[in-house]
Amino acid sequence: MYVKARTELERITPYALGQTIEEIKEQYGITTVRKLSDNENGYGTSPRVREAIMQASAHLAFYPDGMTSGIVEKLSAHYQLDQKHFLVTNGSEEIIRLLTRAYIDKNDEAVMAEVTFPRYKTNVLIEGGRAVTVPMVDGKHDLQKMQEAISEKTKMVFVCNPNNPTGTIVAKQELLSFIDSVPGNVLIIMDEAYFEYADSEEYLDTMPLLDQYKNLVILRTFSKIYGLASLRVGYGIMHEDIAKELHKVRDVFNVNQLAQAAAVAALEDQAFVQDCSVKNSAERCFLSGKFKELEIDSFPSQSNFLYAFTNRPVIQTLTENGVLVRQMQLPGYKEAFRITLGTREDHEFILQIVSQQFHERAV
Ligand SMILES: *Cc1c(COP(=O)(O)O)cnc(C)c1O
């Protein structure tokens, strides 16, 4: 290639996508694939969404609303918070990119956990910044060490809560002291993509802190519990001065019209969200408990997936039977994987094939 790309890109590896459903079907000669590899909502989408998309599809020739006013109005009412705090984007991944675009200069640092959502690091590197990663303790963020890692060059810290891929949360009081300890000229980015799945007493709702901490940015998404991953809608909640900077670097029509109509309809159906959350908590408890009986451990999860680890062979059995999970590496264990929680039927199928395989090996 004769045209050289920016030097920063030499350090970037493209995001590793898992195998597709079609590839798995072909490879193993099976007809049913259970895709539990990307933390999507196994219960689908609110039925209201499809109707809203049909209606919006009458206006495809026109550009969408560049201010996503419909969603912002609904979010503002939902959270009882002024509209000026919201920025809606093409997935919350876009917000991460806008934050690094707007705030990371060459050689600036961003502090983050070692095992967390990979998009933080990638976007920091693209801007020529440095990712300072802090090892986990039992799958959790080490907030003490993260605080110590903040230097004069630090521009932002990322806290993924619940964390992807480990599923863990940081304890309320610890997080409060951490937020309080971060200097005012460092952005605190709380990625709460799995917010609606957390039901622990120890989970901190950061929204009430916005007034006090003007450097706080909260990220949430329609991709997970709202079941709109294919449409790409996420949002950030932040001080209006930060929102103003992000508006400067975003695409003008960043959220398409069908996605906007879908997100509005999805927000109106909080009963669906509640129902998914309740079912998810029950399945989380069920699957982690049954896994434990099979000597498959997992970190305590507050999200819609488990990070599981074991010394018994599991992943190959799952894949051959059409259960797609995300392979991970955890020192001290032969196998580690992230599995999205599905329905009870999915879990019974999984437990059956895994215990059958263990049994066969034992005899
Ligand atoms: C899934 C996920 C997102 C959401 O991505 P979208 O771009 O909104 O689909 C953000 N952060 C984390 C940690 C996630 O797991």
Q: Are residues 62 and 193 in the same domain?
A: yes
Q: Which of 90, 163, 170, 191 to mutate to test the pocket of ligand 1 (most atoms within 8 A of CB)?
A: 191
Domain end, chosen from 242, 269, 296, is at 269
Output the six-digit token pair for 66.
């560049």
Domain that holds residue 181: 47-269
Which residues line the pocket of ligand 1, CB cutoff 6 A?
A: 39, 91-93, 117, 160, 164, 191, 193, 221, 223-224, 229, 234
Q: Are residues 38 and 84 in the same domain?
A: no
CATH number at residue 176: 3.40.640.10
- 6 in any annotated domain: no
DSSP state letters, 148-191: HT--TTEEEEEEESSPTTT-----HHHHHHHHHHS-TTSEEEEE
Q: Which of 164, 189, 196, 340 to mutate to test the pocket of ligand 1 (most atoms within 8 A of CB)?
A: 164
Q: Are residues 281 and 348 in the same domain?
A: yes
- 11 in any annotated domain: no
CATH number at residue 30: 3.90.1150.10
The secondary element (H helix, E strand) that includes residue 217 is: strand 216-221
- 54 in any annotated domain: yes
SS3 category, 304:
coil
How buried is residue 184: exposed, middle or buried, by Cβ count under 10 Å (0-12/13-18/19+)? Answer: exposed
For residue 177, how far is its CA from the centre of ligand 1 (angstroms)?
25
For residue 39, how far is its CA from the centre of ligand 1 (angstroms)?
9
What are the pLDDT digits (tens) for 64-119?
Answer: 999 999 999 999 999 999 999 999 999 999 999 999 999 999 999 999 999 999 99
Q: What do you get for the CA distance between the two ends of the chain, in Å?
A: 57
Q: Are residues 254 and 327 in the same domain?
A: no
For residue 3, how far is its CA from the centre of ligand 1 (angstroms)?
33
Total domains, the chain: 2
pTM equals 0.96
Q: Are residues 122 and 40 in the same domain?
A: no
- Give me the tens of pLDDT residue by residue for the chain, a chain 363 residues long: 689 999 999 989 888 777 788 888 888 889 999 999 999 999 999 999 999 999 999 999 999 999 999 999 999 999 999 999 999 999 999 999 999 999 999 999 999 999 999 999 999 999 999 999 999 999 999 999 999 999 999 999 999 999 999 999 999 999 999 999 999 999 999 999 999 999 999 999 999 999 999 999 999 999 999 999 999 999 999 999 999 999 999 999 999 999 999 999 999 999 999 999 999 999 999 999 999 999 999 999 999 999 999 999 999 999 999 999 999 999 999 999 999 999 999 999 999 999 998 888 776
DSSP state letters, 18-34: ---HHHHHHHHT-S--E
Q: Are residues 125 and 173 in the same domain?
A: yes
Q: Are residues 54 and 31 in the same domain?
A: no
For residue 221, how far is its CA from the centre of ligand 1 (angstroms)?
7
The torsion angles phi and psi of 221, rounded to 5 degrees, stand at -150, 155
Rg of the Cα atoms in the chain? 21
Nearest CA to ligand 1 atom 14: 193
Give the Cα separation of 298 and 288 in Å (integer).
7
Atom of ligand 1 nearest to the CA of 221: 8
Q: Are residues 299 and 232 in the same domain?
A: no
Return the amino acid letter for 60. Answer: L
- 128 in any annotated domain: yes
What are the pLDDT digits (tens) for 322-340?
Answer: 999 999 999 999 999 999 9
